[in-house]
Chains A and B, each alone.
Chain A
């Protein structure tokens, strides 16, 4: 467990509903994430975890409800939205590094284009971050020359370069070979220790136990349960969570 979160809300979802056509993917979702809090989102495939993550920086729009970050309601489109997104780091399952740019350029693009930093400043900071995630030796390569674990660590550095208020991780280790999962989780645990506010969709219980303040269990578009990792994994209150845990534990 990390330091206690501050009790000061940073991300707030109230009465969020979203449909994909007929499909009601998010149903009356209420969720508040405090500054410094690490929330792990867990649940069966198709339960809406990715969609929840993506609504927080409005890669997906919502039809009902309200989402605010640091007290500011998510704007609809345009400059305001872009500014808000720059404060929300996102790490994808499939890394999504810019394929035509070097590792270093991947990390400096946002600071230069969005934060208007000078190239020299952006590069200095990028090298620090690449060092922090352990891939500084790869700075001049293109993403395809890196292993999956290295790519995902670059993606984390790219997000950190924007000095985000909160980081969203959507199954960051699901596309990785087993031997690379830990190197990515270690970086994430380090971030959590340093007090980063994080929303992490993952089934890595080890990570949840080590780094999370809270586990949120989703099923069929609803938040069914929200508890400390210890309580959730040892004594879940809902039948659906019990059922889900028995399935993933048997694997």
Chain B
């Protein structure tokens, strides 16, 4: 117990860093991923191509490489971002590809008659997507997006290698200082991640039940 009390300030700030990194990157990924999914089903071939290119690039690039590019590569072209901001962008851009895939599969699961009926009413492609297709797609996409979110929370640990003192970085620090209490250090850090992921999983299953659609 003494160990937790002694190291509470570091653990707390590390936890908050992981949490804010996750929330900001998650928001970026959700918005960008949805836009990418919309582009992938758009009637304009160049837009579809662009979105496919994006998704395939990021899905097939290790996240650490994305971090390297944003944090050490961008300054080369005179566009430096801070470590924390760089980490948010790296995780967000990377995760957007997975969000896009999940949302796209959700869009494809909406019966085509729904989009047809809205276009037949005279709604534009964008209106039909916003009013009819996406609201239904998101309902089927809640569980897969929950998985993407949990994977993303864990992926923020890569920021530890880029001077961001989040949970995994605190693990490194604390285990150096408290070699004898390694188990406690690990426990604290794992608990930190679980404090984010377990309530998320719970929220996802609640949400899933609430938005279920009657067909």
Residues of A in contact with B (beta carbons under 8 Å apart): 57, 59, 77-79, 82-90, 92, 94, 96-100, 109-110, 113-114, 142-145, 155, 158-159, 162
Contacts and interface: CB of A to CB of B under 8 A. Distances in A.
Contact of B124 (A57, A82, A88, A143): A82
Given A99-B214, A100-B135, A100-B136, A82 B117 contact: no
A165 B123 CA distance: 17
Given A99-B136, A142-B214, 5 more contacts: A84-B122, A92-B116, A98-B117, A98-B118, A109-B121
B213 A99 contact: yes
> What are the 5 closest A-B residue pairs judged by CB atoms, nearest first?
A86-B122, A144-B214, A96-B113, A96-B117, A110-B121
Contacts, number: 75
Interface string B31-67: 0000000000001000000000000000000000000
Contact of B116 (A59, A87, A142): A59
23 contacts: A59-B120, A77-B43, A82-B122, A83-B122, A85-B121, A86-B122, A87-B122, A92-B113, A96-B111, A97-B117, A99-B136, A99-B214, A99-B215, A109-B118, A109-B121, A110-B121, A110-B123, A114-B123, A158-B117, A158-B121, A159-B120, A162-B121, A162-B122
B127 interface: yes
Q: How large is the interface on B (under 10, 10 to 19, 20 to 34, 35 or more residues)?
A: 20 to 34
Interface in B92-145: 111, 113-114, 116-124, 127, 131-132, 135-136, 139
Nearest to B136: A100
Given A99-B214, A100-B136, A85 B119 contact: yes
Given A59-B116, A90-B117, A92-B113, A100 B123 contact: no
Contacts of B117: 90, 92, 96-98, 155, 158
Nearest to A111: B121
Contacts of A89: 120
Contacts of A155: 117
